[in-house]
């Protein structure tokens, strides 16, 4: 089963203005033009419309950094999947910062993934262990629990557009990336869990590595058989470096 490499840039709470967001998106789009991986930009919600319009007709896709499970209602500050349709093709769900800072639980992730799929939005479901869990030898346990929760309301994998991301929390923004063996072991475990639900569908799912990904180390992750791309944080705010990560993914044969 062939899987197209995918590189997603999570801009987090950056940049500070629509003008900067548009300029960054256009710069990235120009630099990745003609490269085979699917490139996804995830700006803050407030800049989604401006960024989407800026790259209309180009190969860059747009993603939201989160989404609510509910369609509407008394949820101050939230953005529903109905609001995202037409603006974002993807949505990151379960990022470690959402879990740690805003109390997002495994059950929340389960409901958000199911809601995104039901509304035609491709979820990028993030899983990964904290440093204390890694030191305690619980990486496999945490990855399994979070992965099973993420797909807990899906009846199948095929056709859902699901993307998974392994992001060891201890590596995010620290400059300390996991090893390529770490990334492959976790990604293979994720795929095996998906295969329990849908063996064929599991082979369709791009699995990304996230955590201090740079142009210098991306290639060794992408060379792993179950790692199909990257969820990139800080490096996605620099068009040159981010495009170099996409180019590294392009050099790896599509599986």
Active-site annotation holds for 119: no
Let me know the angle formed at the C-alpha of 83 by 79 and 86, rounded to the nearest 5 degrees: 135
b/e 154-173 (16+ beta carbons within 10 angstroms → b)? beebeebbbbbbbbbbbbbe
Instruction: Give the residue ranges of DSSP H helices in the chain.
Output: 18-32, 48-54, 81-84, 96-102, 106-118, 131-135, 139-150, 180-197, 199-202, 218-222, 239-250
d(CA 44, CA 2): 31
| From 89, 104, 129, 167, active-site residue | 167
Cα gap 198→125, rounded to integer Å? 17
Q: Helix and strand tally (H, E) in the chain?
A: 11, 8
What does the buried/exposed string (b/e) look like for 37-47 if buried means 16 or more CB atoms within 10 Å of the residue's CB? bbbbbbbbbeb
Q: Report the alpha-carbon distance of residue 210 to residue 127 in Å, rounded.
A: 10
Q: Could you say which of 95, 104, 185, 204 is catalytic?
A: 95
Annotated catalytic residue 203: no
Residues assigned a catalytic role = 95, 167
């Amino acid at each position: 089963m062939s899987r197209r490499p995918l590189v997603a840039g999570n801009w987090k709470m950056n940049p500070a203005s629509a003008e900067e967001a548009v300029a960054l998106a256009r710069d990235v789009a120009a630099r990745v033009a003609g490269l085979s991986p699917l490139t996804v930009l995830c700006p803050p919600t407030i800049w989604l419309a401006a960024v989407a319009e800026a790259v209309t007709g180009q190969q860059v896709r747009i993603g939201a950094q989160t989404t609510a499970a509910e369609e509407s209602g008394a949820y101050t500050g939230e953005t529903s999947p109905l609001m995202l349709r037409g603006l974002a093709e993807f949505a990151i769900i379960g990022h470690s910062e959402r879990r740690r800072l805003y109390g997002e639980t495994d059950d929340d992730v389960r409901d958000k993934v199911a809601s995104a799929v039901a509304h035609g939005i491709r979820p990028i479901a993030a899983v990964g262990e904290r440093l204390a869990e890694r030191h305690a030898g619980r990486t496999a346990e945490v990855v399994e629990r979070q992965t099973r929760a993420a797909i807990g309301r899906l009846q199948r994998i095929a056709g859902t557009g699901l993307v998974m991301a392994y992001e060891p929390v201890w590596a995010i923004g620290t400059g300390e990336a996991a090893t390529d063996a770490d990334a492959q072991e976790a990604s293979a475990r994720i795929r095996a869990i998906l295969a329990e639900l849908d063996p064929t569908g599991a082979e369709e799912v791009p699995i990304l590595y996230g955590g201090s990904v740079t142009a210098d180390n991306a290639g060794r992750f992408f060379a792993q058989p179950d790692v199909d791309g990257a969820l990139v944080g800080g490096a996605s705010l620099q068009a040159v470096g981010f495009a170099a990560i996409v180019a590294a993914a392009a050099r790896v044969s599509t599986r």
